[in-house]
A = this chain, B = another copy of it.
Amino acid sequence: MRFTAVGKRVPRLDGPEKVAGRTQFGADIALPGMLWGATLRSTHAHARIVRVRTDKATKMPGVLAVITGQAFPTSDGEGVPVLARDKVRFQGEAVAAVAAETEEQARAAASAIEVDYAPLPYVADVREAMKRGATRVHDESEDPKHPNIAGVAEVKRGDVEAAFAAADLVFEDTFETPWVHQGFLEPHVSLAAMDPASGRLTVWTSTQAQFNQRADLANLLHLPMSHIRVIGLPVGGAFGGKNAVCVEPIAAELARRAGRPVKVVVSRRDDFFATRPCGASVMELKTGVKKDGTLVALQARLLFDTGGYPGAQHGVGASLAQGPYRVLNMDVKSYSVYTNRPPAGARRALTSPHVHFALESQLDIIAHALGIDPLQIRLRNALRKGDTALGGMEMPYTVAGKVIRTAAEKAGWQRRRRSSGRGAKARGFGLAAGHWSVWAGASSAWVQVNEDGTISVVTGAINLTGTNTSFAQIAAESFGILVERVTVHQGDTDTSPRNDGSWGSRVLFGVGEAVRRACEDAKRQLAEGLSEEMGVPADRILVSEGQVSVRGKAGRSLTLAEAASRAADYRGAIIGRGALSDLPFAVAVAAQVAEVEVDRETGQVEVKRLTCSQDVGRAINPMSVEGQVEGAASQGIGYGLCEEYIYGTDGTLLNDNFMDFRMPTSVDHPQYQVALIEEGLDGGPFGAKGVGEPPLVPTAAAIANAVYDAVGVRVKQLPIKPESIVRALSGGR
């Protein structure tokens, strides 16, 4: 198939205004008569709320509204109360909020709210939380043995006991990952206004999921959805951290009570310690193999820290636990576990990076133990057609091996040279793979053919990663016109077709396909509108290359502009609709080779080169896809080497800012090499699938494996800290 618009390196349509600083983010917008909101947060990690006294705050200058947990009798869609009611379950949990004329007045009044706490012992670690007699985070738990289990998922397949018995070797390892922030630069922000006459609420917010916001706000505020308009703003980074409601209901309830618009900007500190970072994990793997490296059995116990409130970590963890490999006998138990930490949110690929750090590290351990090339052990076990994965789903999948081989080839795996073993700095190569499954969800789009043959696309999907640019390419391809002749609009919940959130790499896959279907629908309408005039049945009319012609009949053609205005005479506006939710899951595999340099004296690890290979189905915009791969991999470097929440003994987060929470900066980045495997899959637009999450999945493991390759030190705990390496190299001293 030859493409004219798809596969082109089109610069992001929203790029220039972002680069020039003209984009209006949440903090930039204001309304006449706007108030400021501020939140009082718990200083305890775990405490019963004895009393909240707001009388002093209410009387302070400029204060128009004060709310406490009573304002929200129900919790949000994730089970998190907007403001704590009976007790606080993590340090930083919101307890009360204030709206006042100025931000300073609001903060002062919030501080003046008096809360009497009865402190409780707290639990900060999933292993502790799983013990008998552990501190209960939720009193109402019904499991006396494991009161802190928030969710369980199990994957069982084959006969694990028998498989272990038949295995040549069995490996048991435990891996750990830390709490990390998603690293978005723009803090949460929300502005809410309620029309006093109609009672209709409008909320502007930096969110990944405006329709989900609407649903949550409807529940929390007891309003019908027809009374709520959520306007998703340009988002200054999210990575899963803006999936759920945050300060939106606080701003909305304050606005309702004060009768004036209220803006709430979350401080950097609060965004670190009190919103929804990515939770820690402890993963115990027991793997049986044959001497030739064939995986025969996997038993795993995965503990995901979900913080003070429920989460979905366990489900994803379990479903991806076999990696992109054939494992016929499995027994995986995966838990989300309550602790007195912030509620764990999503981060790019949710718990897949956790699980693959464990799996891919252990696979490396196995390869080295068996004396097999890490590349070969992966190729031997790679998923192939007919294999089952994802809890039993049969995989129509043949690309895993190719993706792994491509990364290795591009990185020069066969020619790689380990360091001499001498000198201060040692080089090493590490290979890892990983997978993610892309789910379309509710995806919809409208496409309109304007009278001059240009195209207008409307979706309700938040444009996080340049997907609007890809939509323009999809529409341009569908009609055979220039990308410049397409405009793509992100509407809000009142104005656009409903879409699920911009998460899970679903947007291009699902919404992109909705755009494509909407184009096909519009083309069908054009053909129907012109059928009589052109004197042939509609199905003989072809819309392509910006022309409308009769199939198999030369000469007779109209420009798209002519066709659009004539067809509209018969039918009114030409408006295509695409709406779907039923695409099959698309599995996407990524493989990466990290080339690192380890300083034996300081333990410092530097990633020199990162070679990434990925099955993308079809790269609608290769520049954009490469950007996603490099961006995710750079996040993986942070996860592998430096990012982690450091808590004090009283449960206080010590590194609650971007100075102390260290993310890679521009000088920390290696040379990236990206290879895209395009073996189009049915389902997504022109064979495309999601691309944003998979490339974060293998990175940390690839680095860990490279460190081992360089200096022979196996680090099983992220991040890989210099002190761990130095300690190991010096024999544990």
Contacts and interface: CB of A to CB of B under 8 A. Distances in A.
Nearest to A444: B573
Interface string A488-519: 01010111111100000000000000100000
Contacts of A227: 484, 487
Contacts of A487: 200, 226-227, 229, 494
Contacts of A16: 195-198
A386 interface: no
A224 B458 contact: no
A19 to B, nearest CB: 8
A198 B458 CA distance: 18
Per DSSP, chain A at the interface is mixed
A454 interface: yes
Interface stretch (A52-60, A65-73, A576-584): A576-584
Interface in A136-166: none
A575 interface: yes
Interface in A436-455: 442-444, 446, 448, 450-452, 454-455
A486 interface: yes
Given A224-B485, A225-B450, A446-B446, A575 B572 contact: no
Contact of A452 (B225, B497, B568): B225
A20 interface: yes
16 contacts: A15-B197, A16-B196, A20-B197, A22-B195, A214-B450, A224-B452, A224-B485, A227-B484, A442-B572, A444-B572, A450-B498, A489-B495, A491-B495, A570-B581, A571-B579, A573-B579
A17 interface: yes
A573 B499 contact: yes
Contacts of A452: 215, 218, 224-225
Interface in A177-231: 195-198, 200, 214-215, 218, 224-227, 229
Given A225-B454, A226-B455, A568-B581, 7 more contacts: A214-B450, A225-B451, A227-B487, A442-B568, A442-B572, A448-B497, A572-B580
A498 B442 contact: no
Interface string A551-585: 00000000000000000111111110101111000
A13 interface: yes
Contacts of A575: 444, 446, 497-498, 577, 579
Contacts of A486: 226
A571 B577 contact: no
A74 interface: no
A174 interface: no
A531 interface: no
Contacts of A455: 226
A419 interface: no
Q: Which interface residue of A226, A454, A496, A581 has the most chain B CB atoms within 10 A?
A: A226
A657 interface: no
A531 to B, nearest CB: 14
The count of identical subunits is 2
A198 B15 CA distance: 10
Contacts of A456: 225-226, 493-494
Nearest to A215: B451
A451 B17 CA distance: 35
Nearest to A521: B577
A575 B444 CA distance: 9
Q: Which interface residue of A218, A224, A496, A569 has the most chain B CB atoms within 10 A?
A: A224
B573 A442 contact: yes
A488 to B, nearest CB: 9
Contact of A571 (B224, B571, B582): B582
Interface in A464-494: 484-487, 489, 491, 493-494
Contacts of A450: 214, 225-226, 498
Contact of A495 (B458, B514, B580): B458
B568 A582 contact: no
A494 B489 contact: yes
Q: Which interface residue of A225, A451, A573 has the most chain B CB atoms within 10 A?
A: A573
Nearest to A18: B197
Contact of A484 (B15, B226, B446, B485): B226
A227 B486 CA distance: 8
